Structure 1
């Protein structure tokens, strides 16, 4: 008996041992392939009055980037700001224990050590402490991870790479499916160079390039993943190009990579980002992206005819693209879980400004920036020019005629006018520093003054006034463009006014006013017209029209019209019209008969019918204790919604048409909702219009108004069904007693010495949830 019992125990122990190992093996097979850990250090203080501004924010930005798209959970990382040496050692001990604890959860562990701060030729400078490179490298090596990635953004950090323990080699990287070991050391500068930070970008050049690269700019293969090799190549090129003309001299990042394996070590995955900005393949040049506060976010040189994918945060951005021939500008908004494609069609050309090169010798007498050079070989200055039909005499000289006064009985043409041009038919000049007057038309490339014509004006750039009886055209207007019929321009700053139509294919900064229609690419000011306004992008200001407003971008201001408003983007302000409003997202308010939002409403909708993706849109019917059938449409959001509907006695629908007791009621009101799981609680206030037959007038309907209130409890047993029970109270007083005389009132509560009566009513019904 004892032998059988011992045999049973031994067999049970063996079974438990093998089953435990099998279970562990299965768990290990299902474990994640890579587990990553990190220490991020930002040290602004370096002792001996050494002070940086952006080391701390660089460390925080690097941590956030790696948490978002680099696969390093914040629970697996430590952030140290202005630490002492002991703090760094404690952080490495903590990470080491974490790696040991989780060693069976992944087939490979990776450790990232990031430092932004002060250093010299021998050590990191941590306030009043130092951490010499040899000791630091030994401490990092003791961290029990398979791969060590060290990123140092500090002066002379190249000396860390040269310290005993590593030799610079050609990068040999691996992907996350390989079994590898080794290290990768990256430094922001060589052993003899300073590392530099910039007030413009609010960061160091090297860290800014690293973060921009991790977010997708370094992805040269277009697979939405950034490898260590891609990142180093991008950071090296960007850091060098942005520091080569600095007073501190060029900055050359260095590396020391010794990894055993095959493939590429992937550091970030862009596809995992909540928001992605795609730079289309035809977009080329220097792409500069700023947030709504004008802070520089990214600056990327895009030269390949392939798309570039950038991981971004949700928000509003402005962008400038500088190519060899043209400068483009525009704005866009990134929403959660959205991929926005930026292409040339989203941007508008802008005029380039002329700058003086550093080192240029000053002239004894500077010419106006807009003036032609009078003493050039091809220029001839003539104080007064007269022509009957044309200035053929001066044209035959082969010179560019520059004059102070040009008079043409029919047509006057000179190269440059620094005064006045008068002509019965036409004036033509390249540069006008003054005024043109013509009965028919004026033509100029650059206008610094005024053009006045009876029919039309044409200019490339206008700084001043362009006024015509019928038509004015210019590419860029800095001033006023006014005509009796039509104005056309690319960009307008200040004012565009026409009797019929204004067109600004670029941006309006100021006022656009027309009798019929205004059209603009982007509005930063006011659009006002008798019929309609159209903006192809954002409106930061006001759109006001007699009939309609359309904005294909965002509204950060007011959209008001006589019939309808459309905002294809987001409304962060007010949309108001008597008939209808439409927007994709609403963070402000919509006021109209019908308000539609295809996305979410975080603000308010005021109207009879309101629709939004996260709002209330319900059709209900109920039976009340006063033998009434009640039909309602509830729409809006839970904070405030509208109710329209009707109710009538059941006998109204079944009795013959000659019955004298027929009546109907129209319901309109507002409500608010509280939600608790499957239940909701509605509080509503109504104005009711009681309609009944007027006994004193044949075939006439009389109406009376009275207020009422309602409270209801709803239960949602299914997605599109709600069952509810409610209690209503109608209020009778001297001004509306006829409304209650014609309807049945089983319950009456007298209030205020019989002057006010309350009529309670109860209902049970069902609602169909239609959104």
Structure 2
């Protein structure tokens, strides 16, 4: 009986433990299921912000960079990464609806996290998608309405801080969540405040903010050193780096902002360095600004490394160059990152490099003002000033009215108007209008109008003056005299350019032309377009000039001495090309005995073609000649002659000419027709009292020159 009771007690105890284990397993499974994180990346890019707004260059690149780091190090599978490029408002709404449907299907299978990224144009009213607007309130409500536990929006655009004020949000402490938490809510991270510019850089090939944020997510923002980067750490790193890089740009200091409303405990981890395929370690003893470039030379990460703390960065496998900059000291190291390994760098791995090889950071201190001008255009305040001499030392957007003089020392978006003169020392977009002169020493996109003189280094627009226009590079110059090194169009009395497309005036001079020259006299060393003028000079022509006299270095230039059926000896000069040449001819007839000349002279002009062939060739020529008796100025004839013949080359620049002709001579001053061949092969005509003669003829001679 005692044994039976013992067996019964042991069975009860065993079953109790089994029950407890089953319940624990059930709770464990439930907890594990609830701890699963399903993360989505919704990346939007829009380079075009509508009419009147310059195209951004790197919005799409920024969106891909953000999505790449979250995909590589943030546990987001490729199928959960969604790119939306240059969307219309309707298309963006459809993409949001499609994402919402996926979120609803996965409801209950873990925590849903959505990371929304936007790079593009915006202002205080909302996102600018082409010529359409998505108001901040509407965009924020759409994000809030997503069926996700955690919504994080990162917005890189001008005035993006306006969205953090759409609900009166305020900054709160860090809100990152780890897998063990049960936190829900939203967070908005913006690249600037409501009234600030968000700037992009040609050197970085992206925006200052996104570049800094991505660098932080790759590990530069891991301030705790636990191998994880939380959103709070990434935001803090991006804030400091963006502020430092933009403090001296024309857009002014750029302050990222945030608005968070999350409930619960724990942290949301944005990236985990331990999940990367390859890594770069920076030793404790390294200090200075670090630039990491891939094998294509593109900057993939930038940070300031402080001494005393080691740092790790997650990067794709590949070849990299790492530059370490200190005050007056520049060092560089080459490194190959392999999958599954962390390659550590210490001071001993760096070698000194020359200062001139250092890489400029963004636009700070550089000469590329694209981001500065874009920022001033979108976020600068328009000002109008009126002074006797209006002097502006700072970047300026607006109208300068100087009664006698205007001067701007930095970039200017606007107009200068003065009775005497205006000067702009830096790049200018707008107009200079002055009574006497305008001068721009870098680049102007716009127009210069003056009474006497306009000057600029680079002109994208027009110069108009009643005097002279001078520019190294220009689009359009209109004035009495126009001078440029490279120009598209010049219109004036005298136009001079080293390389030009179109010139129109009384005299054109160019080293190289790409389109027509139209003038009384044209000079060109090399022309790819056509010359139209009374006299054209060109060293090398791709196309035949059209004019009265065409002197072409690679064309036709020769003299022919000949005798014809009238016993007239002639000298004819030919200028042009094989396709079209002009002729000048002078001749005098011999008497029948060939012992002396008669007193009849002929001179005239003609046109002809060689059927497109140089050297031995056939040619067709029409000549109009004026015949006159030297003893009787009133007795003159008009001689029309059509020749068909050819030139056989004997030696270089020497050939024999021969052919036949058709001739028509008419009375010029109501006198008899004195021209006639020595033979009897002619026909006399009389029409309404006007006499004429028609006859066939022959000619032969020697040609010297290029034919």
TM-score interval, normalised by the smaller of the two chains = 0.3 to 0.5
When normalised by structure 1's length, the TM-score is 0.42
The structure number with the bigger radius of gyration is 2
Answer 1 or 2: higher relative contact order, Cα 8 Å, separation at least 6.
2
When normalised by structure 2's length, the TM-score is 0.46
